[in-house]
Amino acid sequence: MSTYETMPFHLETERLILRPWAESDAAEFSDLLAERGKGKPPVERIRTSIGELLAATETTGIALLPIQRREEGDFIGYCGLIIGRSTLEEPEIAYELFQRAHGHGYATEAAGAVLEAAVATGRKRLWSTVATWNTASFRVLEKLAFERDHVSMEENGEVVWLTRTLP
């Protein structure tokens, strides 16, 4: 059992709302994953994945949350905390947005709210792991005061570990 508070699952920023997954997000989540360029996962499988994400949150108290634009009301991606390559005590921040939503500062805005949510759980440190080619992701993390810590080598290439101490 974790000694940390459960992360708040409803976050609001100037332009965005982050809230828990609904089954009805499956089609758009599948479209988002299709932008990775390895085919579109069946919506049925994504519905199962959403169930698994919700179940994992029950035990960990941390979550990836869908991002909705407040004015347009549309789903543009997700942002949140995951164990990933790290630990429940010092989780990773993660985000992925539709290409049409890139370049408007949304990832930085969403990740800023997730960072505050992490502070609210009592955590003292976050991590993020980024492939060396991912300039946009490095820039988001730089804007949020993450610092490069070390590099690890994986099958698919080099991964940079960045960390952020929380107040």
Ligand X SMILES: CC(C)(COP(=O)(O)OP(=O)(O)OC[C@H]1O[C@@H](n2cnc3c(N)ncnc32)[C@H](O)[C@@H]1OP(=O)(O)O)[C@@H](O)C(=O)NCCC(=O)NCCS
- Name the residues that contact ligand X, by CB under 6 A: 95-97, 102-108, 130, 134-137, 139-140
C-beta of 133: minimal distance to ligand X in Å? 9
Q: Which two tokens stand for residue 34?
A: 């299709």
Q: Least separation, in Å, of the C-beta of 52 and ligand X?
A: 20
CB-wise, 57 or 77, nearer to ligand X? 77
Helix (H, G, I), strand (E, B) or coil at 110: helix
Q: Least distance in Å: CB of 82 to ligand X?
A: 11
> What is the 3-state composition of the chain as percent helix, strand, coil, each rounded to the nearest 5?
35, 30, 35
42 versus 103: smaller Cβ distance to ligand X: 103
Distance separating alpha carbons of residues 10 and 41, to the nearest angstrom: 27
| β-pair partners for 18 | 11, 67
CB of 7 or CB of 141, closer to ligand X: 141
